[in-house]
Structure 1
Amino acid sequence: MRKFGLAILGLLLVISVSKAQQRSVDKIAGVVGSSIILQSDIEQLYAQYLAQGATLPPNFKCEILQNQLTQKILAQQAVIDSVSVKDDEVDAELDRRMRSMVQRAGGEERLEQFLGRSIIQYKDEIRNEIRESMVADRMRGKITEKISVTPLDVKNYYDKIPKDSLPSFNKEVEVGVISFNPTLNKEEKEMSKEKAEELRARVKKGEDFATLARLYSQDPGSAPQGGDLGFNERGTFVKEFSAMAFRLKAGELSPVFETDYGFHFLQVIERRGEQVHVRHILIMPQITQASVDRAKMKADSVYDLLTKNKKIDFSSAAAYYSDDKDTKYNGGMMLNADNVQTRSTYIPTDKLDPQVALVTDTMKVGEISKPILYTAQDGKKSYRIFLLKSVTDAHKANLAQDFPKIKDAAYNEKVNRTVSEWFEKKRKQTFIRVDPEYQGCAMVKRWMDSAPKAVAATTTTTDTPKQ
């Protein structure tokens, strides 16, 4: 936390100097159509990366300028194509970023000290940049939204790869899991519910909600912010929390209610259309040994159904019995965390959870493990049954074994080509001007080569309107 604080302080010193310079004379680093990019914008973004501890290449400011040129041209086309983002979407993104910054800085007051201004003021300052970035992302999505690849496209892509350049894939496995989480009975939960009721009563008597949240809430994400969750849409929360949050009026305090996370009560701070700004306090019931023992008994019973009685197959057992919501409706199959979007079930063994690897390493394909006690990264325990569905040895890429991966690569190549062609066309139609300092940048030079009337920029005062 101290390291981050020093980094933020250093960043803000850079920003302060940048803004002091900006009040006098500020160079225009680039012009794209009707928009300008100031040198101070580049310096500020550069300082942000430095503050995060990143090791930056010598030409990194060239990369920043290129990204800004890209963002400006996308945003301008978005106006023509009526692509936009709503105010509440921008607010939600601002709130998300502020929550992250507050958490890393160690609280709102500490962050505001670093910023030298209120969070509200800072959000107003960066709102336009956030909006433009979101609009640009949406425009990029529109450019590529109709792209698809056929099996023939995949084959043609694969055939064009020189045989000595085909990638190699590590050994991969497909692993199924059925998870049995310890569940508490009513008596075991009662103490936690009473604690939540006690805290709610203290709030009603006038004690500060934020202070009690910081002291007692067991939600690690919101407790340092006084329980504040910012603005969120209905689908952000679990259904019980969402139903309560959108039922109340601004200022109202909810009763204590239960979700999968534990016992909560919340207060609505503000309603804005289909978004609500709430804060909450969470008390999580503590797992007992008796509940762990009950989970083991259930796991043993399901293991017998799978292996001795054979009255149910693994996929059906996962759907019916598993407490793992990410896998139970996927036949129990675990997904490759590095390739979740394609829902790939092939996991490189070097990426496999060490606890899972230890169990499956000695299993044969098709074998089902006995229930084992599994400890998650957050310390939560559960009993799990594993199925080793398949093993693929390390090999050179081929269509028979690696079609999904090659399809992803073919799709990405088509997306990149489409975007590149779109930018090439737009650069030829758009007035672009770059300061001499950046004209030696290879990544920026191609913008100037194809742009009409590309000439050097000049120095100007910051009274120039920034669009």
Structure 2
Amino acid sequence: MKKYLIIALLFVSNSLLAQKKVIDKVVAVVGDNVILQSEVDQQYAQYLVQGTKPDPGIKCYILQNMLSQKLLSQQAVIDSITVNDDEVDEEIDRRMRRSIANAGGQDRLEEFLGRSVLQYKDEIRPDIKEQLVAQKMQAKITEKVEVTPLDVRRFFNEIPKDSLPTFNTEVEVGELVVYPELTKKEKEFYKDKAEALRLRVKSGDNFGTLARLYSQDPGSAADGGELPFFDRQTMAKEFTAWAFKLKEKEMSPVFETEFGFHFLEVLERKGEQVRARHILVIPETTPASLDRAKVEIDSIYKKVIDKKMDFSTAASLYSDNNDTKYNGGMILNYESSNRTTFIPTDKLDPAIFLVVDTMKVGTYSNPEVFADARGKKGYRFLYLRSKTPPHKANLEQDLPKLKDAAYETKVNKVVSEWFEKRRKASYIKIDKEFQSCDVLQEWVTKPVTAKE
């Protein structure tokens, strides 16, 4: 059974290169839609930009996914599945932020593209919209797929015993984090810095230029501080309060969130969504604030070690990491659809692995300084709740993973059957150049012979 990984391969277009579409050779026809050679070449160029080795054979897979996208988008019209402009804008902005970061800045990206970012956004908009529609259509096809415990058991029993996968060592790890808090006096310098930038904007300096030069938000600085449309649940509460209070073209005073000191300007409002730009100044940790954090975490650590408080309670009460504190401090495996706490050691943060690798189950590491993904320093100590050695898959230990695998198999079967039915009911023509592709054999219309 073939797997139609339409969404995974289809969205290879997060990379940088784009070429203007021209009228050229038609390499495929699906219903009323055509696919041009230039479109295939464009996605192949994007594939190469990601640093992969040249492989002309990948064009076969690119065309397969483009064919799949056309079938999905055509069915979406029939089923009245659409995406709104805000969804398209958000996806385009997300991809452009990644592209700008990969290119090393907006100016370098524009130089590479040979056009402005705004022009490029307009060019890719129709493709992005069709991709999002196809994604929604595939989600509808599989929305009723579910697996029962009986399905999982049947799936497991159908795996030949000599083909059972071996799982690496897995651990359950908890963390309790304390970040330094600056005093009002220590924060004053950074607040004044943000205020000075705000006054420059009010005096006529370009907001976007100042954001590119001075904003410390890595996700928006390169784009002049601009953010995609967001609702009231997306941003920090202080940010949301100002964004929804101001009118278009109005600018906020300097205000503080958990990330630092900001000021923002509202660019556009659409109902319950706002598009804004902002400048962020992040206060730096001081030696004194780190010393205070050390005293605090040592106190918490002693309570846990002396069994005056269990780890889960301590993490819920005192940890500054909101991603783990509400889960009793336990780190989740986000690669699993079940968000399990069991994490393969090869998927663990290397800095955490180095610590827990020598720990015994049920013990705690000493509080140590660390830096999070944003570079923010703090103190943390770790708790090793369990450690499962490498083993052959079994229902007792690996039910969540087997459930994921059973679900994926069921989804692939449903999608495959859908495509099989749609291919037979649709007019599809593929250019001779691609008819030799193995992955496209099921798409090639076989000529009817006299005997048939």
TM-score with structure 2 length normalisation? 0.90
Q: Determine the C-alpha separation between the residues in 1 that align with 2:262 and 2:163.
A: 56
Deviation at 1:346, TM superposition (A): 1.2
Aligned residues: 435
Contact 1:431 1:453 in 2 (8 A): no
1:67-466 aligned within 5 A: 67-308=65-306, 310-339=307-336, 341-449=337-445
Gaps spanning 5+ residues in structure 2: where? 1-14
Contact 1:374 1:383 in 2 (8 A): yes
Q: Determine the C-alpha separation between the residues in 2 that align with 1:213 and 1:131.
A: 29
Contact 2:429 2:445 in 1 (8 A): no
Q: Determine the C-alpha separation between the residues in 2 that align with 1:405 and 1:32.
A: 38
- For residues 113-170 of structure 1, give each alpha carbon's deviation from its aligned partner in whole angstroms, at most 9, with x where no partner exists: 4434343332222211111100000000001111111111000000000011000011
Contact 2:181 2:289 in 1 (8 A): yes
Cα RMSD (Å): 2.2
Q: Are the structure 2 counterparts of residues 272 and 116 from structure 1 closer, same or farther at C-alpha, using a change threshold of 3 Å?
A: farther
Q: Determine the C-alpha separation between the residues in 2 that align with 1:422 and 1:137.
A: 14
Q: Are the structure 2 counterparts of residues 128 and 214 from structure 1 closer, same or farther at C-alpha, using a change threshold of 3 Å?
A: closer
Q: Are the structure 2 counterparts of residues 173 and 109 from structure 1 closer, same or farther at C-alpha, using a change threshold of 3 Å?
A: closer
- For residues 163-210 of structure 1, give each alpha carbon's deviation from its aligned partner in whole angstroms, at most 9, with x where no partner exists: 110000111111111111111121111111111112111211222222
Matched AA of 1:134: L
Q: Determine the C-alpha separation between the residues in 1 that align with 2:123 and 2:199.
A: 39
Matched AA of 1:279: R
Q: Determine the C-alpha separation between the residues in 2 that align with 1:352 and 1:90.
A: 34
Q: Determine the C-alpha separation between the residues in 1 that align with 2:29 and 2:232.
A: 40
Contact 1:229 1:279 in 2 (8 A): yes
- For residues 215-246 of structure 1, give each alpha carbon's deviation from its aligned partner in whole angstroms, at most 9, with x where no partner exists: 22222232233222243344332221122112
1:52 equivalent to 2:50? Answer: yes
1:65 equivalent to 2:59? Answer: no
- For residues 352-387 of structure 1, give each alpha carbon's deviation from its aligned partner in whole angstroms, at most 9, with x where no partner exists: 333323332333222233322223354432221221
Per the alignment, in what secondary structure is the counterpart of residue 280 of structure 1? strand
Gaps spanning 5+ residues in structure 1: where? 1-6, 455-467
Please, which of 22, 40, 43 is the counterpart of residue 41 of structure 2? 43
Matched AA of 2:411: V
Contact 1:432 1:453 in 2 (8 A): no
Contact 1:95 1:231 in 2 (8 A): no
Q: Determine the C-alpha separation between the residues in 1 that align with 2:150 and 2:241.
A: 48
Percentage of matched positions with identical amino acids: 59
Please state which structure has a larger fraction of its residues in helix.
1
Contact 1:257 1:265 in 2 (8 A): yes
Q: Determine the C-alpha separation between the residues in 2 that align with 1:276 and 1:377.
A: 27
- Which stretch has the larger CA shift, 376-385 or 432-441? 376-385
